Structure 1
Amino acid sequence: MSRRATVLSIVILAIVGFAAAAYFYQATLEKPVPQATPQTASNLVRFHSPTFGPADAPVTLVEFFDPSCESCRAFYPIVKDMMAKNPGSIRLVLRYVLLHAGSEQAVRLLEASRKQGVFPQVLEAVLAAQPAWHDDPQVVKAWEAAEAAGLDVKQAREDIKSGKIDAVLAQDAADAKAVGVSGTPTFFVNGKPLPEFGAQPLYDLIKSEIAQAK
């Protein structure tokens, strides 16, 4: 089954679970604790990345993610549901990949929201509004959704010019290339790539890693 067909098959579940997912999605900004092998850990987990879940979780889930990606939006509630069903066992690390016309603007918006301490709610709002801004290089509707979620847009417009964000984008792009990311979302579970793309393979690999940690 193709990646597109797989995503279409889960999109209904994604829509149903989207609103409830935020309840379980608690962000932290601590330095991630790599679970991957030494050869790949440095390319998968960086101190600057948004992270969700406890630092000492037995499973580190790295997602190479594009906020403009429809598949990433579809997987949003699925990943949150997996975290909710395995409390304390999964730490999610987000890495950015820019594949669409508005991707960089959207990522800069998200990084500005981190500075204001409103990243989780802005991320959810931006993803929920994605169909309205997906093909817009200026992501106007994403900005509107972020503002409604609590972002100070005037300050964020200044913060997106930060050299720190430039460095984040450059490092994530280099790491995505180094580990062979060719599309989004791409997942690594404790440094291991999925055997095939899909929600079930992701769930199975996570459960296997949790079981091994017990």
Structure 2
Amino acid sequence: MKTPVKVALITVAAAIVLAIVGVAYALSQRPAEPLSPEGEKRQTVRTDSHVLDDGGPDAVTVVEFLDFECEACGAFYPIVEDLREKYSGEITYVVRYFPLPGHINSTQAALATEAAAQQDRFEDMYHRLFETQAQWGEKSEETPEVFRGIAAELGLDMAAYDAAITDPATLDRVQADRSDGERLGVRSTPSFFIDGKPVVLEAWGDLEAALEKAVEQ
């Protein structure tokens, strides 16, 4: 076998292994039972939550708490995209931030996405961060310049982007999602809720099975 071919095959195999490991990790992480402190309302969705797909008043609501640097979230990304297409018009898909402290760039990625959202470009940034995760994930230091570069590639108003990144309200918005997640019992990412109920991921296909059941009801 020629060396270039061998290298290509090894690269593809490594990518597949990483994806499988990421998904397997996610499947091993059960969400905790929702916490309901006395007098405190649990919120899976708020009026300012970011909606990727709005299926209307009768749609099933799917909420994902995610960390853009999380490899398991990256592995679930194509699965989620397939489900969004399959159940288009039947679900409302909501994304909420849950940056994990062990990921150096997770908060920076969330800030970049929220800054893009202020220019109505949330979904564009959402896609680009997962598409480029391997380039900026697992770093030893924050790399805000990488996210600024992505914002520029997307054609965002960079003055507005920079102002949003430094505005404490942007970080507050990210932290508000995380706080809601903590109150709901979220401990790992991705964590999914369907019509307010947590989805327990124990085996391949559990997310789709839960979604299919909810849609059919």
Give the structure-2-normalised TM-score: 0.74
3-state DSSP of counterpart to 1:67: coil
Deviation for aligned residue 1:141 = 2.7
Deviation for aligned residue 1:153 = 3.1
Deviation for aligned residue 1:104 = 1.2
- Aligned equivalent of 2:46: 46
Change in CA separation of 1:109 and 1:51 when aligned onto 2, cut-off 3 Å: same
Q: Structure 2 stretches of 5 or more lacking a match?
A: 1-16, 24-35
* 2:213 is the alignment partner of 1:201: no
- Asked whether the equivalents of residues 116 and 125 of structure 2 are also in contact (C-alpha less than 8 Å), the reply is yes
Deviation for aligned residue 1:161 = 2.2
Deviation for aligned residue 1:95 = 1.2
3-state DSSP of counterpart to 1:206: helix
- Aligned equivalent of 1:185: 190
* 2:117 is the alignment partner of 1:105: no
Q: Structure 1 stretches of 5 or more lacking a match?
A: 12-38
Letter in 2 for 1:188: F
Q: How many residues align?
A: 182
C-alpha distance in structure 2 between counterparts of 1:107 and 1:204, whole Å? 29
C-alpha distance in structure 2 between counterparts of 1:7 and 1:186, whole Å? 17
Question: Which is greater in Rg?
Answer: 2
Letter in 2 for 1:52: L
Indicate the larger mover: 166-175 or 123-132: 166-175
After the TM superposition, list the runs of 4 or more consecutive aligned residues in structure 1 that deviate by more than 4 angstroms. Answer: none
Letter in 1 for 2:76: F
3-state DSSP of counterpart to 1:160: helix
Letter in 2 for 1:161: T
Give the structure-1-normalised TM-score: 0.75
C-alpha distance in structure 2 between counterparts of 1:180 and 1:162, whole Å? 28
Change in CA separation of 1:127 and 1:146 when aligned onto 2, cut-off 3 Å: farther
Deviation for aligned residue 1:77 = 1.9
C-alpha distance in structure 1 between counterparts of 2:41 and 2:209, whole Å? 21
